[in-house]
Amino acid sequence: METTLEILALDGESYRIVATHGGDERVRAVPFDAVELELAALCGQSEKR
């Protein structure tokens, strides 16, 4: 199963997608950009190397 993280930002009265990350990427996503997030670990999937 593919993991996807979409980052949204408020744009007037609605939200818009500002970034999309997937797979086993490591990302620094606002508002958690001080911490590197491992998408696979967040979704309970083991990281394959």
Q: Is the pLDDT of residue 25 over 60?
A: yes
More confident residue, 1 or 34: 34
Is residue 48 a part of any domain in this protein?
no
Report the percent of the chain where pLDDT is more than 90. Answer: 45
Domain that holds residue 21: 4-42
CB 17 within 8 A of CB 30: no
Helix (H) or strand (E) holding 6: strand 4-11
Is residue 24 a part of any domain in this protein?
yes
Is pTM beyond 0.75? Reply is no
Confidence band for 11, pLDDT divided at 50, 70 and 90:
very high
Enter the DSSP assignment of 31: T
Strand 4-11 to 14-22 pairing: antiparallel
Confidence band for 17, pLDDT divided at 50, 70 and 90:
very high
Is residue 49 a part of any domain in this protein?
no
